[in-house]
């Protein structure tokens, strides 16, 4: 018997936390490839490798897909290409912690628009305060934030909102991880103009093996693990809850920047981390209370948010 994923919100919370932990460490490793391959080159290589890895293990059954499924997967791929490309272009110029904080404005805005309960608004406001502190820390630091880098990250934030919406649509329309695989393949094709020169650079480099291993590790940490987790999480959580839980990502990004790239954590960063962790914890508790409330007392769910049952196909 297939259980209802929407009845297990705690699993969805754990999946989002796993994604938030994996993504920034992948980005920190990717940043070490920028001098050799460039931001867009790393994006193309990472997405292409992730698509190949998932294609081997998932093998989506696309022959029976209808038009809606193909369109959803294609648009999902567009969101993946834009979100990743512009974010990597941004962190080439802006430190990882503030960059993720700025990008989080996208899902935070989505959460604010979709929220219907007072406490949800409180958690959104708390997360926003944390984002503000991280941004303030970036502006008051020894070096001001690069304007072009900030613009790139704001564009990535818009694509992040598109990604959340399309990820929920794909999760509803396509069982298992087939939609993710096709989405990554579409993103790989879109990034092909920068991908071909990158492959040539890697193959002719004296450090080809090292570059390839780092690229594979980046693909696993920044694409395979987090996107698989997030697709499964969006089958269990409303999008507004998913958006606020992503507030953990700037905190983990600051940790990854410190451990991998040697970027220091200032008092403002630590205060911001405390705020976003509190917002995420509060959101997680709200989800559990809403699911355990007696029928008729949960409050109306926002329109257009999918929380129904979809059978999970093992990857």
Q: What is the pLDDT along the chain (315 residues), one digit of tens a residue?
A: 445 555 567 788 888 888 888 888 888 888 888 888 888 999 998 899 989 988 888 888 888 899 999 999 999 999 999 999 999 999 888 877 778 777 877 876 776 677 667 777 787 788 778 777 766 776 676 566 788 998 999 999 999 889 888 988 888 888 877 888 999 999 999 998 888 888 888 888 778 888 889 989 999 998 888 878 887 887 788 766 776 776 677 777 777 777 776 666 677 777 877 787 777 667 656 655 555 555 444 444 333 333 222 222 222
Per the structure, the count of domains in the chain is 1
- Residue 64: its pLDDT value, please? 86
Reduce the DSSP state of residue 4 to 3 states and report it.
coil
- Dist. CA 306–CA 293, nearest whole Å: 19
CA 227 to chain centre: 7
Selection from 32, 42, 88 nearest residue 262 by Cα: 32
Distances (CA, A) of 312 to 7, 90, 121, 127, 298: 13, 35, 31, 31, 26
- Dist. CA 184–CA 79, nearest whole Å: 10
Residue 314 covered by a domain: no
Residue 108 covered by a domain: yes
DSSP string covering 45-88: HHHHHHHHHHHHHH---GGG--HHHHHHHHHHHHHHHHHHHHHH
CB-facing half-sphere around the CA of 85: CA atoms within 13 A: 20
Residue 305 covered by a domain: no
- Dist. CA 49–CA 222, nearest whole Å: 11
Residue 232 covered by a domain: yes
Residue 315 covered by a domain: no
Are the CB atoms for 257 and 95 separated by under 8 Å?
A: yes
Residue 311 covered by a domain: no
Residue 131 covered by a domain: yes
Q: Which domain holds residue 126?
A: 5-291
- Residue 175: its pLDDT value, please? 81
Residue 313 covered by a domain: no
- Dist. CA 144–CA 126, nearest whole Å: 25
Residue 116, token pair as written in the block = 């219907």
Reduce the DSSP state of residue 229 to 3 states and report it.
helix
In the block, which residue shows the tokens 């257009």?
304
311 Cβ contact partners less than 8 Å away, ≥ 6 residues apart: 2, 175
């Amino acid at each position: 018997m297939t259980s209802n994923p929407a009845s297990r919100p705690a699993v969805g919370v754990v999946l989002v936390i796993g994604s938030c932990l994996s993504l920034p460490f992948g980005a920190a490793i990717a940043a070490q490839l920028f001098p050799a391959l460039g931001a867009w080159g790393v994006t193309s290589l990472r997405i292409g490798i992730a698509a190949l890895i998932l294609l081997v293990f998932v093998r989506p059954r696309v022959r029976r897909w209808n038009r809606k499924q193909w369109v959803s997967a294609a648009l999902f791929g567009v969101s993946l290409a834009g979100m990743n490309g512009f974010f990597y272009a941004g962190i080439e110029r802006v430190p990882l912690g503030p960059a993720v904080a700025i990008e989080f404005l996208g899902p935070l805005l989505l959460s604010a628009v979709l929220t219907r309960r007072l406490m949800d608004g409180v958690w959104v406001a708390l997360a926003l305060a944390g984002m503000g502190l991280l941004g303030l820390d970036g502006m008051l630091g020894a070096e001001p934030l690069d304007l072009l880098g900030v613009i790139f990250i704001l564009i990535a934030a818009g694509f992040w909102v598109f990604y959340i919406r399309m990820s929920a649509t794909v999760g509803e329309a396509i069982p298992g991880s087939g939609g993710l695989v096709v989405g990554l393949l579409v993103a790989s094709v879109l990034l092909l103009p920068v991908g071909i020169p990158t492959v040539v650079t890697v193959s002719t480099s004296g450090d080809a093996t090292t570059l390839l291993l780092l690229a594979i590790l980046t693909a696993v940490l920044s694409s395979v693990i987090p996107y698989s987790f997030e697709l499964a999480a969006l089958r269990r959580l409303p999008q507004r809850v998913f958006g606020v839980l992503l507030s953990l990502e700037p905190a983990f990004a600051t940790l990854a920047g410190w451990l991998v790239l040697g970027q220091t954590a200032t008092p403002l960063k630590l205060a911001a981390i405390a705020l976003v962790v509190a917002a995420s914890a509060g959101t997680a508790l709200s989800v559990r209370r809403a699911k355990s409330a007696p029928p008729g007392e949960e409050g109306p769910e926002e329109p257009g948010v999918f929380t129904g049952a979809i059978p999970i196909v093992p990857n």
